[in-house]
Amino acid sequence: MRRVFEEDLNDLHIHFFQMGKAVNEAIYKSVKAFVNHDKALAKEVIAGDIAINKDEADLENKCFELIALQQPVTTDLRKIVTIMKASSDLERMGDHAVSIAKSTIRVKGNKRDYEIEAQIAEMSEKVKIMVQDVLQAYVASDVTKAKKVALKDIDVDHDFKKIYKACIRQMKNDPEIVLGATDYMLVAGFIERIGDYVTNISEWIIYLDTGKMAELNTHNKNDSFPKA
């Protein structure tokens, strides 16, 4: 019975990791579609979200099933809870990728600012690396790496504020870019929130190891929104 439980638990870990890779790919494609105004790629991201949502639902159902049938305690229960909570964070990250993709489809010949778009692409690359690193930390149960990943969110928050201020500045100087700059701010905000969810997963990795919830990057609460 124990061997079967461990096999089921391992399957959950593998499924979670595969879901994480799919989410990271969706994030990458959504930003690429936005910067390149590639509506076909944006539609691909939106269509792919169905599979990500199914992954999250399947993981949750399997977790509940294991809890009901195996009645795990202590460490085993923490493993299951971590998968449930972290997969929910992944699903929300996928939702933000869809929101970015929808911004791409909504754009209709708005005036562009290539410098701001380059900043958005750079910001998204940082988040992509964060997702890769947090998945590796999860697989290895590496608390030290998880904490380092969470610290990277400070740079992402800084990028968001820089992009926000640049957009406000451009909107004041050039009324024709108001619509485009509004989309830039929205997309940067979606990427920033993805970084926050990565931090959440880092916290769940620490919970898995210690049984206690850690609150990482509390600077987000004290410095919530940029001033123009």
- The predicted model scores a pTM of 0.90
Q: How many whole angstroms separate alpha carbon 94 and alpha carbon 148?
A: 23
CATH architecture designation of domain 2-222:
Up-down Bundle (1.20)
- What's residue 219's pLDDT? 54
Domain range annotation of the chain: 2-222
- What's residue 1's pLDDT? 60
pLDDT in tens, the chain (228 residues): 678 788 888 999 999 999 999 999 999 999 999 989 899 999 999 999 999 999 999 999 999 999 998 888 888 899 999 999 999 999 999 999 999 999 988 876 678 899 999 999 999 999 999 999 999 999 999 999 999 999 999 999 999 999 999 999 999 999 888 988 999 999 999 999 999 999 999 999 999 888 888 788 665 544 545 554
**Can you give the C-alpha Rg of the chain in angstroms?**
19
**What single-letter amino acid sits at 192?**
E
Contacts of 86 (CB under 8 A, 6+ apart): 16, 138, 200, 201, 204, 205
